[in-house]
Amino acid sequence: MSQESIFRLHLVLGYVAWLLCFTAYIWPRLKSMDPFDAQRAIATLHSFRFFGLVFILPGVVSPDLPASFAVPTAYGDFVTGVLAMLALLTAGKRPVFGFFVVAFNLVGAGDLMLAYYHAIQADVPLHAGELGAAYAIPVIFVPLLAITHGAAFYLLLRSWRKGAMRGESASSLT
C-alpha cells in the first residue's frame, strides 16, 4: 500500500472512529449540558490548537514539508487556540465569552478548510512521511476538531433559536 493510500485511509478512519465515539459518548453529554458549559468544554479542547505550530518546527516535521501547507496551517491553529483560550478567560463575562466562542469557531473551521485546500494543492498525502511526529495531528486530532466545530455551530444555532422563540435579543451564552 502506498504512503498516500495509507495517509488517506488513516484520515478517513480518524473521522469514522471519532464520529463513533462522538455520537456514543460526547454528543449526548454536550446536548444535555447548559449551552454555556457545552461551549466551554469545546473551547477547552480547541485551546490546545497552539500545538499546530509544530508544522513549522524543524526536527518535528521535515524541512521539505511544503510551506504553502505548513505555514498557514500552523498559524491558523495558533490563532484559533488563542481565541479559544480568550473565550475561556472571559467566561465570567458571557457576552465577551460568546463573542470569542463565535470567533474561534469561525476562524478554526475556516483554518481546517484552508488546511485541507492547501494540503490538496501541495499534495501532502503523497508526502505524508514529511509530517514526521506531526503525522498524528491530521489523522487523529483534526477529525475531532472538525466534528466539534460542527457541534459548536449547531449548539449556537439551537441556543439562538431558543432565545428568539422566547423573544430574547441574545443567546443563552450572554
Q: What percent of the chain has pLDDT over 70?
A: 94
> Residue 111: which of 154, 73, 85 has the closest Cα?
73
The CA–CA distances, whole Å, from 10 to 14, 18, 34, 128, 136 equal: 6, 12, 34, 11, 9
* Residue 167 clears pLDDT 60, i.e. is over it: no
User: Other CB atoms closer than 10 Å to residue 37's CB: what's the count?
Assistant: 13
pTM surpassing 0.85?
A: yes
Determine the average pLDDT of the residues in 137-164.
93
Residue predicted with more confidence, 173 or 143: 143
pLDDT tens column, 10-27: 999 999 999 999 999 999
Written as nine digits, the cell of 138 is 491530521
- In the prediction, which pLDDT does 108 show? 98
6: which residues sit within 8 A by CB, 6+ positions away?
128
pLDDT tens column, 51-104: 999 999 999 999 999 999 999 999 999 999 999 999 999 999 999 999 999 999
Q: Among positive and negative, which fits the CA dihedral 33, 144, 104, 82?
A: positive
Do 171 and 95 contact (CB within 8 A), yes or no?
A: no
Cα–Cα dist 91/150, whole Å: 21
- In the prediction, which pLDDT does 131 show? 97
Cα–Cα dist 11/140, whole Å: 8
- In the prediction, which pLDDT does 163 show? 72
